[in-house]
Structure formats: C-alpha cells, structure tokens
C-alpha cells in the first residue's frame, strides 16, 4: 500500500487548508513553521504525505497521480482545465475574477470598452473566453504579476484579475466593472485513485466534506 499524498497550495489558501486537514486528523502544520524548508512532509501519524506547491501546480500533481488529493482555488481550475475529479466546494478563500478599469474612465460595463482594447491579465484563457462570449474583440496582454500596472502605465484599458477585499483596486484607483465568476477553495482528486478508493481516499474525502459543512467560526 502506497502512502496517501495530498497537494497543498502555497499562499492565501494555505492556512485554512491546514486547518481543514487538522479537523479530520491530518496534521500538516509543520508547513507553517518559519524554519521549515521542506516541500514534502509526512503527517506525524505516518499515514499521509503533504506536498507544498504553487497553487497553479496543485492540479498538475493531482492530474499526474503524484498526489491523490489536492486543494486549489476554482480560478485555477477554470483557467487550466486540468483532468482531475472536482469533488467539493470547501467554501473558503472567497474571491472573484473581475474586469476593472481606471476609476476615472467613462466605462460603466465591459461592453463600453472600445473594440480592440488591451486587457492585461494573468488569466488569459478566462479573459479570452469572457470577451468572446460578449462578442467584443480585445487584445489580451499576458502578465505574470502586478496586473494593476497595466491601466496605470496606460499599457491596457482594462484588466481581468482576482479581487478579494478590493483593496488593491482602490489603492490603484481602479474600478470593478464586471464579475466573470466567483471562486472558492475546491477539493480535487486523481480520477482513477478516486474511483478505486486507494489508500482510504474515500474516508478522507467524506470527512473533509462533513467538516466543510461546519461554519468556520465554530471550529
């Protein structure tokens, strides 16, 4: 019997991800030690292994079967369309993918944007699909970070980016025009491992589903 391996996302979702696993008896809190440099650890029970990877890499490890289970934002699933089983909405890590423009621009909806506007985004597939759906031809400018610089520098009329509190938009004098979709943390699994219920996968999934029905404030 191999060891159940779970891919955990670095960044905004990590803290609550670790809490959810603790609630079902799997302890990956060592990933939060500032002294920890390990990206692969075993839970103290020795029955489960955790991989700490970039959020975008979580579905890759799960798709290739190197992790049987993973937690990742819906935004990553929408952008990359990985071949994984999408099992549950864990109802944390709320954010939304939105179109935003300069606050002093005359645009009040995405359809107000001039055809062939430039739209900067890290989510090039989501952005392309959205503007195709509303039949507005735009030039998507792929960026890796600090997408808000697009309108500030004048490189792009608009951006498509994740918004949680809206603070980054406000600080950069940007205004949300449209919401493409809302995103939360999702539980994903390697399809074959899930079907064959390897390493007691089904029990862990069921426990995580149950614990995600409990309001976070009660935990």
Interface residue list for its own copies (CB under 8 A): 5, 10, 39-40, 51, 53-54, 56-57, 60-61, 64, 66, 118, 141-146, 149, 152-155
Q: Which is nearer to its own copies, 5 or 212 (CB)?
A: 5
Write down the least CB distance from residue 34 to its own copies, Å.
18
Give φ, ψ of 51 to 5 degrees: -115, 125
Q: Which is nearer to its own copies, 39 or 111 (CB)?
A: 39
Q: Are 211 and 131 contacting, i.e. CB atoms less than 8 angstroms apart?
A: no
Q: Which is nearer to its own copies, 66 or 211 (CB)?
A: 66
| Whole-Å CA distances, 66 to 62, 69, 76, 190, 204 | 6, 9, 18, 9, 17
Q: Which is nearer to its own copies, 153 or 217 (CB)?
A: 153
Write down the least CB distance from residue 141 to its own copies, Å.
6
154 conformational bin, left if phi > 0, alpha if psi -120 to 50, beta if neither: left
Write down the least CB distance from residue 210 to its own copies, Å.
29
Q: Is residue 90 helix, strand or coil?
A: coil
* Cα atoms found within 13 Å of the Cα of residue 148, Cβ hemisphere only: 15
Provide the token pair at 137: 């031809």
Write down the least CB distance from residue 88 to its own copies, Å.
24
């Amino acid at each position: 019997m191999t060891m159940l391996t779970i891919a955990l996302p670095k960044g905004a979702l990590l803290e609550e991800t670790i809490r959810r696993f603790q609630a079902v008896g799997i302890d990956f809190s060592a990933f939060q030690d500032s002294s920890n440099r390990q990206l692969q650890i075993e839970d103290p029970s020795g029955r489960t292994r955790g991989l700490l990877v970039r959020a975008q890499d979580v579905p890759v490890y799960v798709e290739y079967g190197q992790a049987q289970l993973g937690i990742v934002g819906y935004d990553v699933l929408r952008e990359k369309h990985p071949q994984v089983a999408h099992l549950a909405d864990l109802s944390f890590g709320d954010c939304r993918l939105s179109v935003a423009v300069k606050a002093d621009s005359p645009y009040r909806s995405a359809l107000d944007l001039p055809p062939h506007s430039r739209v900067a985004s890290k989510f090039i597939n989501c952005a392309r699909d959205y503007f195709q759906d509303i039949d507005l031809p735009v030039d998507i400018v792929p960026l890796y970070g600090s997408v808000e610089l697009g309108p500030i520098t004048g490189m792009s009329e608009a951006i498509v980016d994740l918004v949680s509190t809206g603070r980054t938009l406000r600080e950069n004098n940007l205004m949300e025009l449209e919401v493409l979709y809302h995103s939360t943390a999702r539980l994903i699994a390697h399809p074959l491992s899930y079907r064959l219920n390897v390493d007691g996968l089904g029990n862990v999934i069921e426990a995580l589903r149950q614990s995600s029905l409990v309001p976070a404030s009660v935990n």
